[in-house]
Each structure stands twice: as structure tokens, then as C-alpha cells.
Amino acid sequence: MNIRIIATPHIEHYTLGLYGELARKTQVTLISLQKYDIPAKQLIVPRVPLPGKRTSLRNLVLRWISKNYDIIHVNSSLDGVAVKNLDKLVVTEHGFPDPSVEEGRSKKLYQHEQESLIKLSENGVPIVAISHFTASEIKKKLGIEVSKVIYHGVLDIFRVKSPRKAPGAHTVLWNSRLIRFKEPFVLLEAIHKLKNKQGFLVRIRGDGPLRGEIAEYIKRENISDLVSFVDPAPFHQLSSIYRSASIYVHTCSREPFGLAVLEAMASGLPVIVPRSGGAYEVAGNAALTFNPGDSYDLAEKLEALMEDPELYEKMSEKSLKRSSEFSWEKAAEEYLKFFDKVISQ
């Protein structure tokens, strides 16, 4: 299948995975702010505003050269509204732009993204969602019926071959943005309930407006000896962070997908997720689950994993088996089939 694709990137995991695989199967040109280690043709164009115009240099370049391609694949509706050839356009929506969960400049950006997504949908542009949960949220909140659900894959750098053996002491990892939407205090409250238990530590990886408040909570509740922040690290070191942990906890009950959960599972970590949202959909029956927002329930699940080596090793095996069902090669094949369908319409 020879489809000429022009695309804009998303987060590094996704860009390396999806466009790396697509570029091995067909012609892909990526317009981005940086160069990625993938076999696609890449145009490095800064996203700088143009004087007197309501657009950026990147979007102007995208609009100008897109006429030479069969498919224009963007990962933000804000890029999509810059495109004139809407019959070639496919938008992957990586969440459900909800201004109510953001603050400051991000709130205004989400509002603009939401309006742009509605406009594109009204003009017949096909929308791809990354989970059935995301598709249902887009339908419920914006009245948009997505055209296709395509799951993410997981990069091979995260995959391990053998399940974990239960360690003598545990390291619990939490990895996400430090915003209220991600519900980090559910984990912190669970740890506070377990603070007299011996033999475990908690590492928090992420940044955001709640960092100061989280640091204050850790100090106030006397759990500084248990909980620490992971120092900022480049993407290529992320796999070693997962491997240095023994349990992965996800607390966001409205997660669009849960790529970190999938990466943790591929690393052989038993995972604990809330019983709702995209992370629950991704983990399936391979995770221990807790009632959304319930720190008591989460504390019980954590304690069970730490105290029962047989349960721990069983859940590690389940993580590897479930994560093996997701691959970027599979995702690329689904996108190519969908692109072909769009072209033939």
C-alpha cells in the first residue's frame, strides 16, 4: 500500500512508535519542531507566530505542501483547522479537550482546541479516538461521533521477556502530570494510610502546578522518608525508571488511554488502576483495580501486592501477556487501512 502521508507529531512515545512503523510501510513526511530517530522524511519547522496572521509558520508550511500528499494526519485539531484540503485530513484526538480541567493559558488552549474539533467534525473530517472511553467522552461532551478507535502500541525499549519475581522491598512508581485531573492525592492519601508499614518506597515522576502542594503534603503528613520525586530525565532513560520500580500505580479515573500503564505492563510491573477510564480499558483484567478516588481501596490493593509474592508474580505475568496485545505495528496497519478508506470515499 503506497500512501503519501504528511503528518504532525504528538508525544515522543507515539511519534517514534506510529510514524516509525508507518515510514517502514509507506511514504511519510513529518513536520515537527525536532528530529526523531525514525526513517520518515522530516521537515524541522518552528511553531512561531506570523506577524499579522492568525497562524504559525508550521501550519503555513503544512497548508502549503499538503496538496502533494494523499493523507494529512494531524494529532491536534489546532493543526487540523490550518488545513484547506479537508477531504484528505484525518485527526487523531488524544483525549477530550475539556477546558474545565485546566487553568490559565492551558484553559484557553483547550477551549480553542474544543471549538476547532467541533468545526472539523461539522465539516466531515474523520476523527480517530485512542480508546472507546475517549470516543464515548467526545460523544457525550461534544456530540461528535468518532469514525474509528485505534489503540496505541508500546515501544520495544519498554518490553521485557520474563515476569518479575517478588522483591524483598518494593518501589511504587507514579508517572503523570501533576494536575488535579490526574488525581495524585489519591495515591498520597493511600501512602499516608500505609506509612507505618515497612519495606517500600514511592517515587513520583512528573511536573506541573501541583508540585509545590504535593511537596507540602508529603512534609506535613510526615511521609518524606517514603515519598520522593524522580529527577527530570530524557525520554530514552524512561525504561530504566520503570525497571527500577516494582509496582505501578495509576490514579486518574478519566484517563483517555494510559500509555504509561501500558509501558509499565510491558516492563513486567504489576499495575493498579481505577475501575474506570481509558487506563482500565487498556489494562483489562491484567490489573488490580480500585474504586475511583478511593484511597482506602487503593491502600488495600497496594498492601495485597506487597505482602503476597504469589499474587505479585501472577500479576506480573498478566501484565506481560496483556501488553503483548498492543503494538505500534498493529496500530500502523489499522491507520493505513483507515487512510485507504478515507482516500477511496
Q: Which helix (H) or strand (E) holds 337?
A: helix 328-344
Are 274 and 338 contained in the same domain? no
Are 81 and 186 contained in the same domain? no
Residue 103: pLDDT band (50, 70, 90) is low
Are 191 and 65 contained in the same domain? no
Q: Which residue has the higher pLDDT, 343 or 55?
A: 343
Q: What integer is the mean pLDDT of 274-279?
A: 98
- Report the C-alpha gap between 155 and 208 in whole angstroms: 25
Residue 244: pLDDT band (50, 70, 90) is very high
pLDDT at 237: 94
Q: Which amino acid is at 323?
A: S
Residue 104: pLDDT over 70: no
pLDDT at 271: 99
The model carries a pTM of 0.95
| Bridge-based pairing state of the strands 247-249 and 200-205 | unpaired
Are 313 and 168 contained in the same domain? yes
* Neighbour tally for 82: CB within 10 Å: 21
How high is the mean pLDDT of the chain? 95
pLDDT at 54: 64
Residue 232: pLDDT band (50, 70, 90) is confident
Domain that holds residue 8: 4-153+327-344
145's CB contacts (< 8 A; 6+ apart) are 139
Strands (E), the chain: 4-7, 27-32, 41-44, 71-74, 89-93, 127-129, 148-149, 170-175, 200-205, 227-229, 247-249, 271-274, 288-290
Q: Please tell me the least confidently modeled range out of 30-39, 41-50, 96-105, 150-159.
A: 96-105
pLDDT at 1: 65
* CB environment 232-266: b (16+ within 10 A), e (fewer): eeeeeebbebbeebbbbbbbbbbbbbbbbbbbbbb
Residue 52: pLDDT over 70: no
Q: Which amino acid is at 204?
A: I
pLDDT at 29: 97
Are 309 and 165 contained in the same domain? yes
Are 96 and 236 contained in the same domain? no
Q: What integer is the mean pLDDT of 126-140?
A: 98
